[in-house]
Amino acid sequence: MSDFVFATGQYESGDWDSAPLVPANVIDAVARYTSIPVAPSGAIVSLASSDVLRYPLLYLTGHLPVRFTAGERAMLQTYLARGGMLFVDDHNHDVDGAFHTTAVEELERTAGPLVELPNDHDLYSAFFEFDGPPTTAHELNGWGDNLVHKQLRAVIRGGRIVVLYSNKDYSSEWSYHPDNKRFLSVDNTRFAVNLVVYALSR
């Protein structure tokens, strides 16, 4: 059985590579807490390429406006229809930020309406138990819009999340070297484990 590979989606319009440390940190969390065979390094794959079909979970982030090309949109639609899942996180933590506004628009155009995910959804108990989406340090320190966003949003098909959208800035929250987890009283990448376990079991 092949290892789980954490894949980052590369798109043309913005800074898709704004959080290069996130993949390693997520991989570390999955390997640390579960027995899921996980590849030690992640993959980067172009959204317009059929290579995305090798990675049924894709991570997208950025600071700048997002506009999918026709090829990226078509491939994403195929990807989602065949069983893929997209996790998109706003690296800005803004309500009216450029990434947030454009990304929501593009995601809804590609996959359908984003609805608020209830805080008792299976995602929040897939491995660790959460009362809802964990609050990030950037939500609490007044950065960006100075708001704590109480819910994530999702496109749901057949009872399953196919697109998960966050404007809580997990990309900043998880952007550090995994070795530095030892300085944290609570590992803040635990929610990433829930995300991966959910994707691999639904």
List residues binding another protein (CB under 8 A).
1-2, 4, 33-37, 50, 53-54, 56, 79, 81-84, 126-127, 158, 160, 197, 199-202
Comparing CB distances to another protein, the nearer of 81 and 137 is 81
- Please give the backbone phi and psi of residue 174, each rounded to the nearest 5 degrees, phi first: -105, 10
Q: Please list the residues that pair with 164 across neighbouring strands.
A: 87, 154
Comparing CB distances to another protein, the nearer of 104 and 196 is 196
Comparing CB distances to another protein, the nearer of 130 and 143 is 130
Shortest Å, Cβ 9 to another protein: 15
Crossing angle of helices 98-111 and 70-81, rounded to 10°: 60
Exposure string for 76-115, b = 16+ CB within 10 A, e = fewer: beebbeeebbbbbbbbbbbeebbbbebbbebbeebbeebe
Comparing CB distances to another protein, the nearer of 99 and 124 is 124
Shortest Å, Cβ 172 to another protein: 27
Comparing CB distances to another protein, the nearer of 56 and 132 is 56
Shortest Å, Cβ 72 to another protein: 17
Shortest Å, Cβ 78 to another protein: 9
Give the DSSP per-residue string, 85-116. EEEEEESS--SS-HHHHHHHHHHHHHH---EE
Q: How far is CA 164 from CA 112, 159, 181, in A?
A: 12, 13, 25
Shortest Å, Cβ 81 to another protein: 8
